[in-house]
């Protein structure tokens, strides 16, 4: 096996002047019909309904976000936050940060126990202390004001209908309840909504949520202020501060002060394509571009998807990129983040030169990108949750958004029918390491580091040709990076690229996604010096690609999601 690997690796290095900048044939005109893709079919249908009514891609995105609040409460909703990336037809790329913020009273000791040690992760999650000020409704208001074409109220109609008339529990929702319902004895509101005779609802059960329907009607009538003030704002504060477990210090003033923010997009190149996404407090675009930048000197197309060396190279780049992520990335309003240095081509080439095609590095430490200040590396927590959705309208506007309440059912707190996030557990619990402060430590008003990676790809002419995003905690970055390599290097269509099995990591061990064929790589990767394990990873992604026929949407074959055309 080792001889085979060495023989294969002999063809890996390619001159820097050689580039596989494939230019896909793309239609000169926008598609005649819009498309949507979401991780739940009811949400996708809500988006299509809005497109058919003449709504923009931005309108469809917001309608899907609201619908997912109803039908996918384990993953996302108005009680959480998100990142929105929008390419207006012929216009400037816009990225909007709707990430949650810590209450003003929050201190770096928030998740430190009385013994001075960081709390166990799942001890910190349930209850009010993990709840950040939700951002999705302020994000929605900004998006609608700038890019909406339908009335604000119209965007709420599909979600209200689902909440009032009911919907059936999906397999992923039932699995999420099975994972967390053992703590619901301390959370009567969520227990009343999602259990029957003391047991969590099973797949196929009918759910109605009149409290949520009423909340959505209030916001539809009163605008975003009706969420952050008045009875809904008071319900959020009361639910979080009066929680039986880990009561919060969030206030009405914290809610009233929240603002969504337009951020500069983070863009880089790969094989002649331009790839753009969200900057800090998202680590998505930076880390995706780092992975791609480190594998770019290798002929990934020639190696192919079945070659264990391809996944060795991806794994090495991943471990080096995540080492940088943990050291340097955080909310740029609080910490100087060397974004330009981290994606600098010369820096990435120097990092790539650490990668050998025929053996693992073994130790993966952060580098020193241009502009970096001395910093302490520390791991942040992030569990598999979240959702992603895509909308492209008949005029050619492109929206791609990742939204989350963090873990399954967030903090386990229900306020006025919707789940409150546990986003603050995305902060690094230990505020310092080795006597130096950690970049992603808790601070009042700060936004926790995120892995959400909504991404748009442009060809050499500047035409958008692909968009992708994913759910699944820190795996999101690698799902997106893998999909980009699969699509741009290996020529896979959108559905195949997101469905391709993943290689992830735990410590310095490579984790092969079980049930996707990735397990077969284990002997070859071990021969290259890797420690290897096999596990289910709980992934889901959504994407769309531009073809000769126009835009085609894709939903992850692992999920219950669908892509629909207008």
Q: What whole-number distance in Å separates Cα of residue 171 and Cα of residue 70? A: 15
According to DSSP H, which parts of 116-247 are helical? 121-124, 136-147, 157-165, 171-180, 188-194, 210-222, 225-228, 230-241
According to DSSP H, which parts of 410-534 are helical? 475-488, 494-499, 522-527
Neighbour tally for 302: CB within 10 Å: 14
Closest residue by Cα to residue 208 from 70, 342, 103, 99: 70
Q: What whole-number distance in Å separates Cα of residue 170 and Cα of residue 167? A: 9
Q: What whole-number distance in Å separates Cα of residue 368 and Cα of residue 83? A: 28
Residues forming beta bridges with residue 270, ordered by sequence position: 273
CB 8 within 8 A of CB 309: yes
Residues forming beta bridges with residue 196, ordered by sequence position: 199
Q: What whole-number distance in Å separates Cα of residue 99 and Cα of residue 560? A: 26
Closest residue by Cα to residue 369 from 336, 399, 391, 401: 336
The H or E element that residue 418 is part of is strand 418-419
Catalytic residue among 69, 287, 386, 467: 386
Q: What whole-number distance in Å separates Cα of residue 116 and Cα of residue 430? A: 9
Residue 238 annotated in active site: no
In degrees and rounded to multiples of 5, residue 383 shows phi and psi of -105, 165
Distances (CA, A) of 427 to 107, 203, 331, 419, 451: 11, 33, 10, 20, 12
Ordered DSSP codes for 60-119: HHHHHHHHHHHH-TTT--TTSEEEEEEE-TTS--EEEEE--B--TT--TTTTB-TTSSBP
**Active site residues per annotation:** 386
């Amino acid at each position: 096996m080792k001889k085979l690997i060495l023989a294969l690796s002999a063809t890996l290095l390619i001159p820097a002047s050689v580039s596989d900048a494939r230019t896909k044939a793309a239609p000169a005109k926008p598609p005649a019909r819009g498309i949507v893709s979401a991780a739940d079919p009811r949400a996708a249908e809500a988006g299509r309904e809005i497109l058919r009514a003449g709504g923009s891609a931005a309108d469809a995105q917001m309608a899907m976000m609201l619908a997912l609040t109803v039908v996918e409460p384990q993953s996302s909703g108005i009680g959480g936050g998100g990142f929105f990336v929008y390419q207006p037809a012929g216009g400037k790329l816009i990225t909007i940060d709707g990430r949650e913020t810590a209450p003003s009273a929050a201190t770096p000791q928030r998740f430190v126990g009385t013994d001075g040690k960081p709390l166990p992760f799942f001890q910190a999650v349930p209850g009010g202390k993990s709840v950040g000020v939700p951002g999705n409704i302020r994000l929605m208001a900004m998006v609608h004001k700038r890019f909406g074409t339908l009335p604000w109220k119209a965007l709420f109609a599909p979600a209200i209908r689902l909440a009032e008339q009911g919907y059936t529990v999906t397999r992923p929702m039932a699995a999420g309840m099975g994972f967390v319902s053992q703590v619901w004895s301390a959370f009567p509101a969520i227990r009343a909504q999602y259990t029957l005779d003391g047991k969590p609802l099973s797949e196929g059960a009918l759910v109605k949520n009149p409290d949520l329907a009423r909340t959505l009607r209030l916001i539809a009538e009163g605008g975003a202020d009706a969420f952050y003030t008045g009875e809904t704002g008071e319900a959020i504060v009361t639910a979080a501060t009066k929680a039986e477990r880990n009561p919060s210090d969030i206030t009405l003033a914290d809610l009233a002060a929240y603002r969504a923010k337009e951020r500069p997009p983070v863009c880089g190149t790969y094989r002649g394509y331009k790839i753009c996404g969200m900057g800090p407090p998202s680590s998505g675009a930076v880390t995706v571009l780092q992975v791609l930048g480190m594998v770019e000197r290798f002929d990934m197309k020639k190696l192919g998807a079945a070659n264990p060396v391809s996944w060795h190279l991806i794994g090495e780049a991943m471990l080096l990129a995540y080492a940088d992520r943990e050291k340097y990335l955080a909310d740029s309003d609080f910490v100087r983040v060397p974004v330009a240095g981290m994606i600098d081509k010369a820096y990435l080439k120097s990092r790539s030169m650490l990668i050998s095609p025929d053996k693992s590095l073994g130790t993966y430490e952060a580098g020193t990108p241009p502009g970096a200040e001395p910093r302490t590396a520390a791991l942040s927590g992030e569990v598999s949750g979240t959702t992603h959705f895509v909308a492209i309208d008949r005029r050619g506007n492109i929206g791609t958004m990742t939204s989350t309440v963090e873990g399954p059912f967030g903090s386990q707190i229900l306020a006025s029918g919707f789940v409150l996030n546990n986003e603050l557990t995305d902060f690094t619990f230990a505020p310092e390491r080795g006597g130096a402060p950690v970049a992603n430590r808790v601070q009042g008003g700060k936004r926790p580091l995120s892995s959400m990676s909504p991404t748009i790809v442009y060809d050499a002419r500047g035409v958008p040709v692909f968009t992708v995003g994913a759910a699944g905690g820190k795996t999101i970055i690698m799902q997106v990076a893998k999909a980009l390599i699969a699509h741009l290097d290996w020529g896979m269509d959108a559905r195949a690229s997101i469905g391709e099995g993943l290689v992830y990591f735990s410590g310095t061990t490579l984790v092969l996604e079980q049930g996707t064929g990735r397990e077969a790589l284990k002997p070859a990767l071990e021969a290259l010096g890797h420690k290897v394990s096999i596990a289910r990873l709980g992934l889901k992604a959504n994407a769309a690609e531009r073809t000769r026929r126009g835009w085609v949407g894709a939903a992850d074959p692992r999920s219950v999601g669908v892509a629909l055309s207008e």
